[in-house]
Each structure stands twice: as C-alpha cells, then as structure tokens.
Chains A and B, each alone.
Chain A
C-alpha cells in the first residue's frame, strides 16, 4: 500500500488531478449546504457579470451561476460514477463468463459485444434517452448501455490469460464452484486493469452526460453543466461567460479524472507500458 502511494505520487500530473478532483468533489458535496434551495430559482438580477454581486455572476433568468456549478458538480460526478459502476458490473459478468468458459459461450457473448461496439454509441445514447424520456435514471442507463463493450473485452482478455494458471487449476481440482472461482479467485487478480479502465470511463461518462444535457436531453429537474452551456448559448454574443464557466468546469473535471486514471495505471501496473 505504501508502495502504491509512492508510485502514484511520483506522477506529478496524477497528484494535480487528485487535487482538482477533490475540489470538484468538495464543491458537489457542499452544494446543498452552501447553496440550499433550488438552483433553478432566481437569485438576483439577470446577466450580472462575474466578480460582482455574485462570484460568477447570474444567467439570463437571474440564477446564480456558482450555485448551478456546485449542483452541477453533484450531477456530473453522480451520473459518471453510477453509470460506470453499472457498466463495469455488466462487463465483469459477461467478460468473466466469456473468458472463463471459452468455446461456445465465448463466441456468443463476443458476437453480442461486437454488435454493440459497432453501433454508433453516442447516437445510441441519444435514441435511448429520447425514447425513454430524459430522466436521470434513463440517462444513467443509456450511458451504461454504451460504455460496457470495451471493458467487457478487457475483462475477457484478463480471464482468458488467467484461466489456465496453476492457482485456478488448483481451485478446479479442489472442487470449487465456477462462480466462486470467477468472483473470489480470478476477479481479485484482474482488478487493477479493470480499476484503471473504469476510472478513465468515468471521464467519458461525464462527457457523454454533458453532451446529452447540452442537446436538451438532460433531466429537467436536475441542474447540470451541459444544460447551463446549452441554455447560455443563445446569449453567446452578450454573455459568453455563461457558456465558458461551466465548460471550464467540465474540462477541469474530465482532465483531473484522466490524470488520476493514468496515475493509477502507473501505480498499479508498474511494468505495463501505457499510451
């Protein structure tokens, strides 16, 4: 564990990422305390410039931009995290079975996965959210539905490589059940690449969520950064900062997560070369 910390800290980018991510997380957690009440409510005069009466100004409806930013942080992190966890669970079950059993099961599962990898993923997410109606559960479902295939292939690869190792064969000989071998023996050994890919997937999920909200497919009851940019774009000429500020928030958050992911990669797979 101390080794892990040392290797992680050696990557300067990862430490910076962790600090930024911590700040965003803190902002999101503090939102209901610091900015109680509905972020959709009017807080003051519309189009207040930043660094005036409000730290980041107000938008066309007089909503406090900083309050929106704080509540948006909650939304982005929540959706990114939950969607990723769901995708990783699906990927672990499907990829684990495909890699462990091989043969027919592997064939069927991989055809299924390839199919979902072929269809244009963002369009698929749009179609799903549009048809199921834009609610936060549906958005999470849609993002998970387009995120699981690549990680499934990764899990399958890991399981295939480990399937014939001595410790797995020993378990088989001991008469352990398949499910126990998959989840308690192989999975813990395959955890680090899953963790690294999963952490990078959170960033992608946040980007997808913001793009959906920008296109008007966000949950109308939940404040999000993409929604703030989408509603501000009409006033680009007079109040460009209404788009610039939430965009910077997305950029910093996604950047931070990517940096942390790379740091995890360095720390968990010290021998692995990465892109």
Chain B
C-alpha cells in the first residue's frame, strides 16, 4: 500500500463528500430565488429593466419557469452545476466571467491576511505563553481581547483617517493607481501599498483569535512529558519551544484557520466595501445596491465552493503536519 495511493483515495473520497454540499447550496439558491420579489425570470435578468421581452421569454424557457416547481428546481441545479450562473445586465457580462475577474483581488487579500494573521498570531501567542503572567502576557492578552471585539469596518475607517487622511502615508481606496500606468516592479509596489490597510484591517480580528489559540496550545503542550524529556536532555528553552512545542501547538491554529475561510470571505465583503478593493466582496456590495440578486447568489455559490475546496486542502495539510493522522 503506497502512501500516495492512500492519499489519492482520501482526496477522491473527500471530493465525493463535497458533491452533496454543493448540490445543497444550489438547491438553497433556488429556494432563495423563489423568496425574492417577482418571478425568478425578473430576478435572473437582474431586475435591470433593460432585459428584452425576448430575453425574458428565453430565460423562462431555458429555466423551465413554465414547468412545475420540481422540474424548475432540476433545471436550475443543472445550470448551476455546469457553472452557468446567468447574465448580469448591470455589468453587461456573464456572472461567471464577472466573478472570475474579481476572484484574483479577493484571493490576494485573503492570502495576505491569512499569512499576516497566522504569522503574527503564532508569534504573539508564543511570546505570551513563554512569560505567563508577566506584563508582556497581559499586554498581548488585552490587545487580543480588544481586537476580537472591534468591528472590521470601523478599524478600516479609523486606519484611513490616521494613515491616509492625516499622515498621507498610504492610499485609502482601490487596488492600484490606475492613472499612473505603472508597469513591472513599480506596479507591484503600488499594489502592495494599496494592500497594506485592507490586509491589516482584515487580519486584526483573526490575529487575535490565533494569538489566543496559540497561547493556550503552547501552554498545554509545555506541560507534557516530551518537554520534560527535552529539558532533561539539556536543550535550551528556545530550542524546545521552536523545534518541539510550536510544531505540536500549530495544529489547532491550522484547524481554526481552515474553519475561518468562510468568515474571511464574509469579512472581505465589509473590508472591500470600505477600501474599494475590487474583489468579490465589493462586487457583492455593488450587487446589493443594484438589487442584482442573481449576481449575489452567484457570488454566494462560488464562495461556498471556495470554502469546500479550502476545507479539503486543510484536511490534506494535516497529513503533512502530523504523519500520525492517517489519510484514511
């Protein structure tokens, strides 16, 4: 039995488990469409009013709106599963193309946030746990508990006031200075400068969460026998922490980071609307104002797919972090 083979079988099984979830989300999207005011065709056309009667008739026929509800559901789910999410008249683009266009910036924001929050969370958590009860521990704990209670959008606005309006250090909106036509390295620097405030805003809450988790995990691990053994062997405190304790304490943090993907997407709606970051979240915000429910539901579906995918990746990463967890 090769490990690769077991792992492959595990991936296949997890993918198979994801199918009913995606089906369920498609069904729920259909039910939500039924709840929306007006018949589904008007919603699918984005309530734009600019849809031609021919297009409406075509929509009704394609989605089988003249059929009984159960058949309608079947049609709808079929369309969604081949990722035909309809057309947005507001943006004059198919919903899928629109979402794919906006996915990049969101993934950039989320990825940066993940690295920042997990990195600093682990660092602060270890720093607090190594000096339990000291002023450093108290300071970090207070910082974490305050960050944990702060609304994201408010942090974003206050950072704009301080770092953009007052100090004029960093840009407040958008992803790049489009009018400057930067290229190559200069463009990367420009995007990075735009990324700082949104990423810090989104990171703060999660950093607090991981700090608390990491602190608790390190404290728990420090009392275990293998740490005593390591100390008896004459290893330095620093080496025990870095080589042994952190490695074991990181598992709950990874678990939590995986669980938080969906929330991270939700948080990016708020943060992107504050900073005008041109990602999925801003698109969702704009679709709210345009009452483009079909686009909103499309974003919802793609986001859910993303969460399922990330959960799978996290589960796989366990088997690398801790070989004892069998990829069954």
Contacts and interface: CB of A to CB of B under 8 A. Distances in A.
Nearest to A206: B151
Nearest to B142: A13
Nearest to A114: B21
A77 interface: no
Contacts of B269: 122-123, 126, 215
The SS class assigned to the B binding surface is helix
The SS class assigned to the A binding surface is helix
Contacts of A126: 266, 269, 284, 288, 296
A13 B149 CA distance: 14
Given A130-B288, A229-B157, A258-B148, A119 B296 contact: no
Nearest to A130: B288
Contacts, number: 131
A264 to B, nearest CB: 15
Contact of B308 (A118, A207, A216, A229): A118
A255 B266 contact: no
A215 B288 contact: yes
A121 B262 contact: yes
Interface string A212-252: 00111100000000100100010011001001100100110
Looking at chain B, what size class is its interface with the partner chain? 35 or more
Nearest to B141: A13
B24 interface: yes
Given A216-B288, A243-B157, A118 B149 contact: no
Contact of B157 (A125, A211, A247, A273): A247
Given A240-B161, A254-B149, A118 B285 contact: no
B56 to A, nearest CB: 20
B36 A131 contact: yes
Given A229-B157, A247-B151, A123 B299 contact: yes
Interface in B19-37: 21, 24-25, 28, 32, 35-37
Contact of A258 (B35, B145, B293, B308): B145
Interface of A: 13, 115, 118-128, 130-133, 203, 207, 210-211, 214-217, 226, 229, 233, 236-237, 240, 243-244, 247, 250-251, 254-255, 258-259, 273, 275
14 contacts: A118-B307, A119-B300, A122-B266, A123-B265, A133-B37, A211-B270, A214-B151, A215-B269, A215-B288, A236-B157, A247-B150, A254-B150, A255-B149, A275-B213
List the 6 shortest-distance A-B pairs measured between CB atoms, nearest first: A122-B266, A247-B154, A120-B262, A255-B149, A254-B149, A240-B161
